Amino acid sequence: MAESVAVSAPPAIATRGLNLWYGDFQALFEVNLDIRQGIITSLIGPSGCGKSTLLRSCNRMTERLGYVRTTGSIEILGQDIYAPEVELVQVRKQVGMVFQRPNPLPLSIRDNISFGHRLHARGQRVSRSGREELVEEALRKVLLWDTVKDRLDALATELSLEEQQKLCIARLLPVKPAVLLMDEPCSALDPKGTEAVEELIRELRGEFTILIVTHNMAQARRTSEETVFMLIGKVIEHGPTDDVFLNPQHRQTADYIEGRYG
C-alpha cells in the first residue's frame, strides 16, 4: 500500500532542527526526521532518550507544560504545526495518540467511540442509526466488535486492558486522523494482549501513518517497515527496519540492538 502513495507526497511527519528543553534540561537535539506516509515506523532507544518527548511534540502535547521550550519545526503532511495560524484542535484531529496505559473515558463503550465524532459534528444532525453504524465500523476495524457488541452500554473502564487499548485506538478512528502516534501501546498488556494489539496495528497499516515507540525489538521487526533509533535526544539512525537490525550503520545502534544498553 505504501507504493500507492506518490513519491512526491510530503512526508507524514517532517522535523527540522527540532530542539526541546524541559526547563534547563535539553531532551531533544537537532532532530531531523522524515516519516513516510502510510507505513509503520518504529521508534526505539534506551529509556529516557526522548522517544515520548518526540512523539508528544508531534501533536503539541508538550506545550501544556509551561516550562517546555521548542525550537525548529515540525510539519505534518506539509503543514507546519507550530505556525501561528494553525489551530491546536486541528493538529490533534490529524494526529491521534495512543498511550502506554489504556485510558478509556469513564463512559460507556458506545460513548467512548462516538465521543470524538460528537465533538466535531456540531450543528449537523447525526441520526441514531448513523451513529450506531459509526460505532460498529470503528469497533469492527479494531477487531473488537464481536466481543463487545452485546454490551455497548457497559462502562469502558470495565473491559480488560487489551480490550481497553483496542477501544482507545478505535475511538480515534471516527475523528479520521492521518497519523497515529503510539507510545508503547502494548507494554501494559500480557503476551496474548500484546499479540492481539500488534496484529491490529498491522491491520491498520496503509490506512494511517503509524509511528510506534517500543522497547520490544521483536515487535519492531515484526510490525514496522522503517525504524528510527534514538540516543540521548538525538536520532542516530533511520532506515528500513531490516537494514537497521541486520546491518546497522552505527556502533551505538548495534550495541543497543544486541542489548548492551539494557
Cite the DSSP H helix spans in the chain.
Answer: 51-57, 88-94, 109-120, 128-141, 145-148, 161-170, 191-204, 217-223, 241-246, 251-257
Does 138 engage in binding with other proteins (CB under 8 A)? no
Does 59 engage in binding with other proteins (CB under 8 A)? yes
Q: Which of 52, 94, 209, 214 binds Mg ion (CB under 5 A)?
A: 52
CA distance 108 to 154: 5
Does 57 engage in binding with Mg ion (CB under 5 A)? no
Does 27 engage in binding with ligand ATP (CB under 6 A)? yes
Categorise residue 175: left if φ over 0, alpha if ψ from -120 to 50, beta otherwise.
alpha
Give the phi and the psi of residue 114 in degrees, each rounded to 5.
-85, -5
Does 50 engage in binding with ligand ATP (CB under 6 A)? yes
* Best CA proximity match to 208, nearest among 178, 185, 176, 184: 178
Q: Which of 104, 193, 233, 248 binds other proteins (CB under 8 A)?
A: 104
Stretch binding ligand ATP (CB under 6 A), from 49-57, 73-81, 146-154, 219-227: 49-57
CA distance 49 to 71: 18
User: Which is nearer to other proteins, 9 or 65 (by Cβ)?
Assistant: 65
Entry field: residues in the chain: 262
Stretch binding other proteins (CB under 8 A), from 10-18, 25-33, 98-106, 249-257: 98-106
Number of residues near ligand ATP (by CB under 6 A):
12
**Could you tell me the smallest distance in angstroms from the CB atom of residue 172 to other proteins?**
7
User: Which is nearer to other proteins, 38 or 104 (by Cβ)?
Assistant: 104
Does 126 engage in binding with other proteins (CB under 8 A)? no
Distances (CA, A) of 144 to 101, 113, 149, 156, 223: 18, 12, 8, 12, 20
Chain residues that interact with ligand ATP, rule: CB under 6 A: 22, 25, 27, 45, 47-53, 65
